[in-house]
């Protein structure tokens, strides 16, 4: 009897799209060495074709097949954080196809820390190119149902691995030049990276100049719900609630305190007070609140510390108007 994993690996070999769970968000996977398969990702997502994709690997023993001139720092970070929510940008091997790298001389690589993803990658025994399995510019999916809602018919198979534990996308570190830079913050923080590297990587401002790699997650309005979202300090949250009631408007709120009142017009979702739990729930909460037809989503601004950096990054992007 063929298992679901074997079926999924066979679909990948046949050039089809398979959505699969990772510890961060669900990925929309295709055989990274097949240009026709990779083209299907861009079509399904409605994503601009020059945006590079992350190649998911079954283990760090596959690194040399995809990257060249690999610095020691890459092996140290792989050892410390893989399988896990960290993507390394390295110089690519010449054979890596342009559709995956966006025509750049670098490639993004990661070994995901989810048992189903690892089983799939081991069974496929190659690189799987996978962006987050959402339509371009929308909120990343953290359950199989989110993927079906967004992409439904466009995928040959959705592997269901439950809710993603981390809940926001991997940290991206660029090691392709002499100074390491964080291109996208994630739950592996700058401090975590600095502990291994012996030096804090700089926070790179991606996409703002010559020679800077393109990161689609760096577009300001990425990860945005359709309902306008505002970030407010605690006092202002209560003020916004009172104002909405006075104007007879429906308001959605995501804040760490319990809802202080009972009113049909206020949809209150209590947020976790701790960054990992907050990240885990964030996208599901935004999807839920976005579906309630409110005039606005108010999110109470979290603390500005290192541990909250990745969450604050996603909230800031969600709040940027498209």
Question: Under the rule (CB under 6 A), what is the footprint of ligand TXA?
Answer: 22, 24-25, 27, 51-54, 87, 89, 101, 104, 106-108, 110, 112, 130-132, 169-170, 172, 183, 213-217
143 binds Mg ion (CB under 5 A): no
Q: Which stretch binds Mg ion (CB under 5 A): 126-134, 156-164, 204-212, 269-277?
A: 126-134
Q: Which does 215 bind (CB under 5 to 8 A by kind): ligand TXA, Mg ion, none?
A: ligand TXA
Place of tokens 């760096």: 218
- Which is nearer to Mg ion, 131 or 201 (by Cβ)? 131
Q: Using CB under 5 A, which residues numbered 250 to 309 contact Mg ion?
A: none
Which token pair is 76?
A: 């140290």
| Least gap, CB of 152 to ligand TXA (angstroms) | 18
132 binds Mg ion (CB under 5 A): yes
Q: Which does 108 bind (CB under 5 to 8 A by kind): Mg ion, ligand TXA, none?
A: ligand TXA
Which token pair is 177?
A: 């030049």
> How far, in Å, CA of 278 to CA of 280, rounded?
5
Strands, sheet with 266-270, edge to edge from the N-terminal-most edge strand: 229-232, 296-300, 251-255, 266-270
Virtual torsion, Cα 51, 57, 60, 64, nearest 10 deg: -60
| Least gap, CB of 250 to ligand TXA (angstroms) | 31
Q: Please give the backbone phi and psi of residue 320, each rounded to the nearest 5 degrees, phi first.
A: -70, 130
Contact 238, 216 (CB under 8 A): no
87 binds Mg ion (CB under 5 A): no
Contact 254, 283 (CB under 8 A): no
- Which is nearer to Mg ion, 22 or 132 (by Cβ)? 132
Residues that bind Mg ion (CB under 5 A): 132
């Amino acid at each position: 009897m063929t298992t679901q994993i074997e079926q999924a690996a066979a679909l990948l070999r046949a050039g089809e799209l398979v959505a699969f769970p990772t510890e961060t968000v669900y990925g929309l996977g295709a055989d990274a060495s097949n240009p026709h398969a990779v083209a299907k990702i861009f079509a399904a997502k409605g994503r601009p074709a020059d945006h590079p994709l992350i190649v998911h690997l079954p283990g760090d023993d596959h690194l040399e097949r995809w990257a060249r001139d690999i610095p020691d720092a890459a092996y140290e970070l792989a050892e410390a954080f893989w399988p896990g929510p960290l993507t390394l940008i390295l110089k690519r091997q010449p054979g890596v196809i342009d559709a995956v790298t966006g025509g750049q001389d670098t490639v993004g690589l990661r070994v995901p820390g989810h048992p189903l993803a690892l089983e799939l990658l081991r069974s496929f025994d190659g690189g799987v190119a996978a962006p987050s399995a959402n339509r371009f510019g929308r909120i990343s999916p953290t359950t199989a149902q989110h993927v079906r809602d967004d992409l439904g018919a466009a995928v040959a198979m959705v592997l269901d691995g439950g809710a993603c534990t981390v809940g926001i996308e991997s940290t991206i570190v660029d090691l392709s030049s002499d100074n390491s830079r964080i291109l996208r913050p994630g739950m592996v923080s700058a401090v975590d990276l600095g502990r291994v590297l012996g030096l804090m990587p700089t926070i790179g401002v991606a996409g703002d100049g010559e020679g800077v790699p393109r990161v689609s997650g760096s577009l300001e309005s990425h990860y945005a719900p359709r309902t306008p979202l505002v970030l407010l300090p605690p006092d202002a949250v209560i003020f916004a609630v009172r104002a909405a009631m006075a104007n007879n408007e429906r308001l959605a709120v995501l804040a760490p305190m319990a809802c202080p009142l009972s009113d049909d017009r206020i949809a209150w979702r209590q947020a976790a007070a701790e960054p990992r739990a907050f990240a885990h729930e964030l996208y599901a909460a935004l999807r839920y609140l976005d579906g309630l037809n409110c005039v606005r989503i108010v999110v109470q601004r979290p603390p500005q510390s290192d541990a909250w950096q990745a969450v604050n990054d996603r909230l800031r992007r969600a709040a940027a108007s498209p």
